[in-house]
Amino acid sequence: MSTEIEVENLVRRFGPHTVLSGVNLAVRPGELLALLGPSGSGKTTLLRLIAGLDTPDGGAIRFDSHNALGRKPKERGVGFVFQHYALFRHMSVFENIAFSLRIRRAKNPEVVARVQELLKLIQLESLATRYPAQLSGGQRQRVALARALASQPRVLLLDEPFGALDAVVRRDLRRWLRHLHEEMNITTLFVTHDQEEAFDLADRVVIMNGGKICQMGTPIEIYQTPANAFVHEFLGESNKLPVTLTNGQVTADAGFVIGHADAPDAPMTAYIRPHYIIPTPDPAGPWLVTRLTATGAQARISLTKDSAVLEATMTADELISSGLKSGQTAQVKITGGMLFDPAGEGPVKLTPNVARGALPHASSLVS
C-alpha cells in the first residue's frame, strides 16, 4: 500500500555550486523520515527533486522500483507542503483544498464530500469560506496539509512545515501530524533544521551537511553514536578538548586525564556534552568556577583551568545540593564523551576513567 522511495547517487548543481553530491537514500514504506541539517545542506533541494519541482543533474529516484524522474509531479502522486504554505490567496479555504480535485475535473458532489472530510480532519470546518489572509499561521499550515492530501498522494513531502510558527503551536501541530501519520500511514519526508523537532517526530532521521548525507538512523542511534564531529555538534552543545592518546589513555592537552579509549596513539579531539561534566566543590581542586546561571529547571556552570574552559549543565536542584559557588575552586568528573580525529571522522567512544588518579575525589561524588 505505502510507497517506498529510493534515491541513488543524486547530484544537483546550481551553476558552480554543487548542492547535492551523490546522495543515496532509501525511505521505507509508510515511514516518517526527517531530513535534518543546517541551511545550505541540500535538504530542501533533495525534497524538491523527489517532488519533481526540480530536475537532478545525475542519479536516480525510484518510487516502488519505478523510475520517477521521467514522470511529472502530478504523475508521481506526491503531496507537497511548502514552508510558507503557498496557499492560493484569491481562493477560500474550501477552494484551496478542492484545487487538485477541480484540476482533475472531479464531479462537484465528490469534491464537496472530500473537502468536507478533510476540513473535519484538520478541524477547520467552520472556516471553509475564509480566505488565507484571515487565518492564523497554524490554521494556514493545516489548510496547506489538507490541500496536499486532497488527491490522496502516495508520498507526503513537507518543507520546514513548522518553521514559521511559534513554539506552542509548533508543538501542538507536531503531535497532531504524528497522529495523522499513524492513521494514514503515507510515506512522509519532512525537512527541518530543528533537531528537537526531527527527533520528536520522525521514525528515522537523516542528517545532511554540505550536500551529503552524514548519517541515517533512529534518533537514539544517532544521538548515542554520531558518525562524525559535525553530527555530534549539530545535535547539541559540546565541550571540545584537544587530547592525546597514549596506550589508550586519553589526556587533555590542558594537562589532565579524562578517560580511556580503544584507539591508536594520536592527537584527537574529545567532544563532551555539558551534562557529562559533573563539577563538585573542592578547595584544592584545579578548576575555578567562573559563572553560575540558572534558567528555570536547568543550571549552567562555567569552569576554567589555565586556558581550558568547560561548560557543565545540571538540574537546578542538583546545583543547589552540590553547594557550588561562583569564584570557588572545584573538581570535575567526566562521565562520557566521544573522540574524533582531526578531520572530524573516526568516532571512538570515550570511557570515563575516574578511578585512575586523575580525579582523586571522585569517590565523594554523588552520581
Residue number, 143 or 258, with CB nearest to another protein: 143
Question: How many residues are present in the chain?
Answer: 367
Which residue among 147, 181, 273, 333 contacts another protein (CB under 8 A)?
A: 147
Instruction: Draw the binding track, 58-97, toward another protein (x: CB under 8 A; -: no contact).
Output: ---------------xx---xxx-x-x-xxxxx-------
Name the minimum Å distance from CB 51 to another protein.
6
Complete DSSP assignment for 87-99: --TTS-HHHHHHH
Name the minimum Å distance from CB 24 to another protein.
24
Contact between 8 and 24 (Cβ < 8 Å): yes
Distance separating alpha carbons of residues 170 and 160, to the nearest angstrom: 11
Q: Total number of residues binding another protein (CB under 8 A)?
A: 23
Provide the grid cell at 312.
557543565
Instruction: Draw the binding track, 4-23, toward another protein (x: CB under 8 A; -: no contact).
Output: --------------------
Name the minimum Å distance from CB 217 to another protein.
29
Residue number, 103 or 266, with CB nearest to another protein: 103
Complete DSSP assignment for 288-326: EEEEEEEETTEEEEEEEETTEEEEEEEEHHHHHHHT--T
Instruction: Draw the binding track, 244-273, toward another protein (x: CB under 8 A; -: no contact).
Output: ------------------------------
Binding to another protein in span 316-345, by CB under 8 A: none
φ/ψ of residue 79, rounded to 5: -105, 135
Provide the grid cell at 2.
505505502
**Of the ranges 143-151, 230-238, 292-300, 318-326, which one interacts with another protein (CB under 8 A)?**
143-151
Instruction: Draw the binding track, 21-60, toward another protein (x: CB under 8 A; -: no contact).
Output: ------------------------------xxx-------
SS3 238: coil
Distance separating alpha carbons of residues 116 and 133, to the nearest angstrom: 21
Beta-bridge partner residues of 340: 269
Which residue among 148, 216, 301, 334 contacts another protein (CB under 8 A)?
A: 148
Which residue among 3, 41, 45, 100 contacts another protein (CB under 8 A)?
A: 100
Name the minimum Å distance from CB 128 to another protein.
18
Name the minimum Å distance from CB 150 to another protein.
8
Residue number, 142 or 260, with CB nearest to another protein: 142
- Cα distances from 367 to residues 92, 296, 334, in angstroms, run 59, 22, 11
Name the minimum Å distance from CB 53 to another protein.
6
Q: At what angle do helices 137-149 and 108-121 cross, to 10 degrees?
A: 130
Complete DSSP assignment for 91-142: S-HHHHHHHHHHHTT--HHHHHHHHHHHHHHTT-GGGTT--GGGS-HHHHHH
Beta-bridge partner residues of 217: 205
151 binds another protein (CB under 8 A): yes
Residue number, 84 or 175, with CB nearest to another protein: 84
Residues that bind another protein (CB under 8 A): 51-53, 73-74, 78-80, 82, 84, 86-90, 99-100, 103-104, 147-148, 150-151
